[in-house]
Every structure is written in structure tokens, then in C-alpha cells.
Amino acid sequence: MSVPHRAAGRDRHRSWRALIVLAAIALLATCATNPVTGESELSLVSEKDEIAMGRQNAASTAQAIGLIPDSSVQRYVSTLGKTLAAHTERPSLPWSYQAVDDPAVNAFALPGGFVFVTRGLLTHINNEAELATVLGHESGHVAAKHSVHQMSEAEVAQLGLGVGMAVSKQVAQYGQYAQQGLQVLFLKFSRDDETQADALGFRYAMADGYDVRQMIPVFQMLDGVTKEAGGQKLPEWESTHPDPGNRVTATEARLAKVGQVDWSQYKVGRDQYLKMIDGMVYGQNPRNGYFESTLFLYPDGKLQIQFPSGWQTQNTADAVMAGSPQQDAIIELRAVAGTPADAAQKFASTQGVTIGRSASGQVHGLSALEREFSVQQEGQSPVQGIAAFIDYGGTTYRILSYAAAASAGNYVSAFEQTITSFGPLTDPKALAVQPKRVRLVCVPKAMTITEFNAQYPSSIPVEELALINGLPSTAAIPAGTTIKRIE
């Protein structure tokens, strides 16, 4: 959850459906030349609109997920990405490369040249060349206009507001629920798209002077992360992403086509890369809030709130949310601008909102206002709920609870219990919790990762330690090698 000032002054997200419809009207049956293949293809989105959509959603991404608050990391990622972008077929796009503060091992690209890599991926790879192949892959999606192709086939228009919630889109806009503004992240590229992006990433990274053999450890790591998480290994034909083993084979085939190369002349960049991630948070950062079952604890904000048992929860950079098992009700906590009275008045004046019962009082000694509300928009499902505004430490927190009108009565008790559970966090252990961090050690003598872990213990299993270092558990680590440990 973010600091309070992030919650102020946010623009409403424009509808993707409207953009697609407008693009279709303006460019119906328009064909364009794909800059990578040179082939003619249907395109209902102009480059200008592609960039505008990408820029808008890049801002939403940075706000909803949050960027790594380290300018040196951002400069490193941006500089590397932009040198790769110069080798793409679309160098004049407004390319942007940023690192988001998310523990998931991932990277993604938005239309128009806006590329993101997660903190989780940065802590799992081991050199600059590996990062170059990842950023090259994502740049390949943009260069080949994969998102534009998907949008042209109207897949975006079929996406809802996240997890199938049967609630008003208008209210979801007020609440900024879950994936709002980020639907484009869930465009599913085909296996052909992913394979093409791999090939392009390979080419861009090599053109920029990187040892593209380092692409193989990335795929091996991703495979290890999947297995570590206990996920089932789907056959390649059942997944949009190619099987990691097949991606390794494909990379080896590309390397074979390159022929005899003096790889010593190509960049790997292990030392400078590891120096960049030294001290980086590893895994979840509990200072930004964490869940114990459905109890949300926020040490930096010194607050806690209990969501209903069995509900699906999510903590983002600017809000904490829970969805009912039936996917017809939502509870959201976020910091908002102004006093509780100001925030309540602003909410009441929102178009389409009708205020019912109003009440004022206290929650755990904190001043609170409560407003029952309903929303009825033409062509949309009616919604009913409760909005609570609580003053805590000079910050106004809004708890927005709502459901489809047909089932809203079933959730009144859950809504009220969640609202009244909001209060100060006083548990000394929870207040003092600290994140795990990456630390570097130069091994003084040859040893295995198991021996290393015995001498320099980490707070993660040795199998996971081997994975993030790209090492087999039985391989000997040469003396003088810099190794990651987690403390």
C-alpha cells in the first residue's frame, strides 16, 4: 500500500472498449505493414493511438504496482533498455524501461514501447546479458506490434474489470479496482508471438554486443521458478508460452546459426549487475503491508484491517482489496485526499452515485463517517454498498464496500465488520518486521552451494538459493566468485 499522497489527483481511466470502437470506426478494414515481417496485416489501431494507450497504461502501472524507489536501479534498467531499442525496427517510439516493485518473476511490455521488469526478476537473474535478453524479448513484442494485433482482433474489448466481478464498471472506476487500467497486461500472445519475441530479443541483444548464450540460463531459471512454486508443468500446446525446455533448444539452434564467434568479445556484465542489485529487497516487502490469512497488517502505516474470511485478497501500491468467493462483492481500502468530510462530499457528488443513510461516529477511537450508496447506470448492473471515511494520523482512509444490488443484502454484515476492524497496529513484532534482502559474498575458496549456505546462511531454502544464483546444487563454486545470499 502506498503513502497517502499517491492517492490524490488521479485521472479516470478511459474505456478500452471505447478506444477500440473509435479505432475501428476510423480505420475499418485498414491494413498496415508489420515493421518486423514486412507483411501486410489488419490494424485497427494507429501508431499514435498505440502510443497514447501505452503511455496511459504505463502511468497506471507505475501507480498501481509501484516503481522500485531506487534511482540508480531505474537508470540502469532505462539505459540498458534504450540501447537495445535502438536496434529494433521501431527505434523512433518513445521507448521507456522501468523496474516495478513487485516480487513476481516477470517482465511485460505495453503498446507503444513501454516496458517493465519486476524486482522479482531482477533478483533472480545474474548478469547484464541475461537482463538484455529479457528486455530484448519484451521490446520484440512491441516492435512486432503483437499488442496491436491482439487489440485489432478485439480481445481487449472482451476483458472485464478483473476476476469476473459482477459489479458496475462505473463504481469500479471510482474504486480503482484490481486491474483497472492494466487490462492490457493480460493480453495473451500466441506461442508464435512468444517465439518471435525470443528470436527478436536474441537479435537485439547480440546487436548490442551481449553474449546471447546467457538467454539459456534465463529460461532455465523460469522453469525452476515454476517448479518451485509447485505449478503443474503444462504441455507446450496447452500454454501460450513455449515450454522453457523448447525455448532452450530454440536458442541453441539460433546460436548454431550464428556460427563461430569469439564470445570473449561480447558483454556479460556480471559484476556490475550484481553490484546494482546488492541490498535489493527479495520477495514480498512486508513494510508495504502483508496478509496473515485475511488480516492485513501495514507496518509503515501502523494500521490493520480484517477482511472477511475466505475472500480473495490483493495488496497493490495504492490500495488493498478483497473479493468475495462468489465474485459479486468487493471491499477496498485506500488513502484519499482531504478530510473525511471532504472525501465523503466528493464521493457523494460523483455522477451516478445516490447517497442513502449517513452516519458519523468513531471506529477504535478514530473519527469516522459512513455513507450508504447505490449506483444505477443505464446498461450496467445496479450496485449498492457502504463507503466509510476514517481519519487516522491526519490521513483519510476510505473503505469502499459494494456488491451487485441483487446480493448486496447478503454482505452488509461483512461490510460493517470489516469497517469496524480498521484500527491502529500495535503488535511490536508486526511493527518491526523487515524485508529479506540480497547480499553479496565473495567466496574465499571453492565450495558447493550447500557448503556456501552452511558457512553463509540464507533465510531461504538452499534449493531456492541455488536457483537465484543459477547454480546446480552439487557444482563447485570457484574461489573468488561473487554469490548472492538472502538475509
pLDDT tens track for 50-65: 999 999 999 988 988 8
> Quick count: other Cβ atoms within 10 Å of Cβ 295?
15
User: Region 19-23: what's the mean pLDDT?
Assistant: 44
pLDDT band of residue 1 (cuts 50, 70, 90) is low
Contact 384, 411 (CB under 8 A): no
pLDDT at residue 17, rounded to an integer: 43
Res. 305: pLDDT tops 50: yes
Res. 76: pLDDT tops 50: yes
Residue with cell 508443468: 233
**DSSP track, 255-286:** HHHH-S--GGGSB--HHHHHHHHTT-EES--G
pLDDT digits (tens, 9 = 90+) for 276-287: 999 999 999 999
Assign domain 286-429 to its CATH superfamily: Mog1/PsbP, alpha/beta/alpha sandwich (3.40.1000.10)
Contact 335, 359 (CB under 8 A): no
Res. 308: pLDDT tops 50: yes
User: Region 376-394: what's the mean pLDDT?
Assistant: 88
Q: What is the 3-state secondary structure (H, E, C) of 14-43?
A: CCHHHHHHHHHHHHCCCEEECCCCCCEEEC
Residue 2: C-alpha distances to residues 279, 280, 314, 330 (Å): 21, 18, 13, 20
pLDDT band of residue 27 (cuts 50, 70, 90) is very low
Which residues, including other chains, have CB under 8 Å from residue 345's CB and lie 6 or more apart? none
Which residue, among 333, 323, 283, 221, has the nearest Cα to 437 in the 3D structure? 283
User: Region 407-420: what's the mean pLDDT?
Assistant: 96
pLDDT at residue 19, rounded to an integer: 46
Handedness of CA 481, 482, 484, 487 (dihedral sign): positive
pLDDT at residue 157, rounded to an integer: 37
User: Region 305-322: what's the mean pLDDT?
Assistant: 93
Res. 150: pLDDT tops 70: yes
User: Region 147-171: what's the mean pLDDT?
Assistant: 44
User: Region 316-340: what's the mean pLDDT?
Assistant: 93
Count the residues in the chain.
487
Residue 301: C-alpha distances to residues 282, 328, 396 (Å): 21, 29, 12
Res. 82: pLDDT tops 80: yes
